[in-house]
Amino acid sequence: MKTTLYPHWKEQITIGEEGPQPSILLADDKVKILMAGLAPGQQIPEHPEAESMYYFLEGNGWMTVDGERFPVSAGASIVMPEGAVRGMEAETRLSFLAVRIA
């Protein structure tokens, strides 16, 4: 791995018509780090996932984890255990940094 500077996170966010188009910053056999975003009204369907942490960069929305709904906004972080079923929906443009432990 080489050192990479991302001078501004907004340059890494692409929001597609069908939903997020993640920008993978790092992926190896131990960790995956990505940035992504949702337009207002877009969702990520609930699905089980690896141990993860999400940090919200802008916007407002909801994160559902194992049936519990959490409000999220810029500056919020959420940490989830291995296998937790999670989904997301955006009320406004919602951008985030996610770290998944393999």
19-101 CATH choice from 3.40.50.2300, 2.60.120.10, 1.20.120.140, 3.90.550.10:
2.60.120.10
What token pair was written down for 6? 């991302």
Of 16 and 22, the one with more pLDDT: 22
Residue ranges with strand state E in the chain: 15-16, 19-20, 23-27, 31-38, 43-48, 52-58, 60-65, 68-73, 77-80, 85-90, 94-101
Ordered by start, the domain boundaries in the chain are 19-101
Q: For the segment 41-62, what is each residue's pLDDT rounded down to a tens digit?
A: 999 999 999 999 999 999 999 9
pTM: 0.93
The answer to whether residue 1 scores a pLDDT higher than 80 is: no
CA distance 10 to 67: 30
d(CA 27, CA 97): 14
